Amino acid sequence: METALVNARVLLPQGLREGLSVTIADGQIRSVSSEPPAGAAIVDGGGAMLLPGFIDTQVNGGGGVLFNDAPTVETIATIAQAHRRFGTTGLLPTLISDDLAVVAAAIRAVDEAIEAGVPGILGIHIEGPFLSVARRGIHDAGRLRRIDQDAIALLGSARHGRTLVTLAPECVEPGDVSALVAAGVIVAAGHSEADYDTVRHAIGEGLSGFTHLFNAMSPLANRAPGMTGAALEDDRTTAGLIVDGHHVHPAVIRIALKAKGHERLMLVTDAMALTGVDDDHFLLQGRKIMRDGDRLVDAKGTLAGSTLTMTAAVSNMIAQTGIDLRRAVAMASATPAVFLGIADRTGAIAPGLSADLILVDDDWQVKRSWIAGREAA
């Protein structure tokens, strides 16, 4: 049966439009037209905004659980449910640096979650353990290591969805990035001290992303562009941004926007277990991480991910940069869809794409959501 969403301000790729009916059937957007089809079930949007669902490529946890603690289908479902309340209809459960046995378990869990039909699971993000000790941030130094052929084979072993791997280019050998890309892995750089030339070489091998731009990477200097300079310069790559008011200064975000444009910047949350719950702390691989307002820090004050949500990230982006709604939402939907290679399936409101939709009021409260045409309970 067809369902027609009416009386909403619909965000098309061209901008907000009123007076439209978005018809969904069989999990897809069937049509966008001025009138609902005869016989369709009507859903009244109440004048709210109908947006493409948000896609978050960096989600460590939520709903009180952390992916590393228990890489299971149940954990993944809890995380996805917690973030769906804030507009996320597609995500990559993210495993921070851990032993390869845990990496293997996480890959199996995501495969099983997709096979079981857990809504919104697009694949997995494996952030480390092939990272720089000097730029590890909150990652456990004892779990960091260099990549090898066994690890490359493991990283390319997922049966379903997309696999995104964050690594430090100086921790791999020439040819390793291209081997990962050949295995179907999307490779991003992060937590790295790599110099400009090393990063450029990795881009030449197929590296296409940068994880939480500016954070935990070699900075831009006048005679040493570093990873940050390489990321800002290259228009083939996409960079994630944590726009929570703590990780990156608004002026720096505005500079990045001018350098790369909204088509090559995507919003991410880097969310931890406390997103969506009121607890004041959690344990990360045995270390106590505390909530300080809306910041998460360890005992030394090191940032440990965030409590950010995608609705907050989009609204923050608008407030901090002056970017318009169309481009800010694209940074949370169309841009990550292109980065993941799934823009032919999702990321916008257009006929033929998956009916991944959210109904949001002007205060950025999600009123209703659909993933592949199925509404949340």
What's the pLDDT tens digit per position in 344-377?
A: 999 999 999 999 999 999 999 999 999 999 999 7
Give the pLDDT confidence score for residue 221 in this predicted structure.
97
Same domain, 47 and 58: no
Please identify which of the residues 98, 244, 270, 356 carries the catalytic annotation: 270
Same domain, 172 and 293: yes
Same domain, 279 and 242: yes
Give the pLDDT confidence score for residue 1 in this predicted structure.
85
Domain-embedded: residue 345: no
Q: Which domain holds residue 365?
A: 3-51+350-375
Same domain, 148 and 251: yes
Q: 287 - beta bridge partners?
A: 284
Domain-embedded: residue 265: yes
What value does the mean pLDDT take over residues 83-89? 98
Q: Which residues, in sequence order, are CB contacts of 139 under 8 Å at separation 6+?
A: 96, 97, 127, 128, 129, 131, 191
Give the pLDDT confidence score for residue 170 in this predicted structure.
97
Instruction: For residue 272, give the CATH number of its domain.
Output: 3.20.20.140
* Residue 270 annotated to the active site: yes
Same domain, 28 and 156: no
Domain-embedded: residue 106: yes
Same domain, 7 and 69: no
Domain-embedded: residue 328: yes
Same domain, 225 and 371: no
Domain-embedded: residue 249: yes
Instruction: For residue 14, give the CATH number of its domain.
Output: 2.30.40.10
One-letter identity of residue 172: V
Same domain, 249 and 217: yes
Domain-embedded: residue 260: yes
Domain-embedded: residue 66: yes
- Taking only the tens place, the pLDDT of each residue in 97-128 is 999 999 999 999 999 999 999 999 999 999 99
Same domain, 137 and 249: yes
Q: Specify the number of domains making up the chain.
A: 2
What value does the mean pLDDT take over residues 296-319? 96
Q: 24 - beta bridge partners?
A: 3, 29
Nearest by Cα to 138 from 40, 73, 81, 212: 212
Q: 56 - beta bridge partners?
A: 91
Same domain, 232 and 273: yes
Give the pLDDT confidence score for residue 377 in this predicted structure.
76
Q: Which residues, in sequence order, are CB contacts of 86 under 8 Å at separation 6+?
A: 54, 276, 309, 310, 311, 312, 366
Q: Kindly state the tokens that stand for 195.
A: 């110099």
Residue 87: band (very low, low, confident or very high) from pLDDT cuts 50, 70, 90: very high
Domain-embedded: residue 21: yes
Same domain, 27 and 156: no
C-alpha pair distances (Å), 131 with each of 46, 125, 128, 140? 48, 14, 6, 10
Same domain, 61 and 209: yes
Q: Which residues, in sequence order, are CB contacts of 136 under 8 Å at separation 6+?
A: 97, 144, 191, 216
Give the pLDDT confidence score for residue 97 in this predicted structure.
97
- Taking only the tens place, the pLDDT of each residue in 280-306 is 999 999 999 999 988 999 999 999 999
Give the pLDDT confidence score for residue 145 in this predicted structure.
96
Q: Residues 63-67: contacts with CB within 8 Å, 24+ apart?
A: 63/273, 63/275, 63/276, 63/277, 64/273, 64/274, 64/276, 64/277, 64/279, 64/282, 65/273, 66/272, 66/273, 66/282, 66/284, 67/93, 67/94, 67/95, 67/106
- Taking only the tens place, the pLDDT of each residue in 272-285 is 999 999 999 999 99
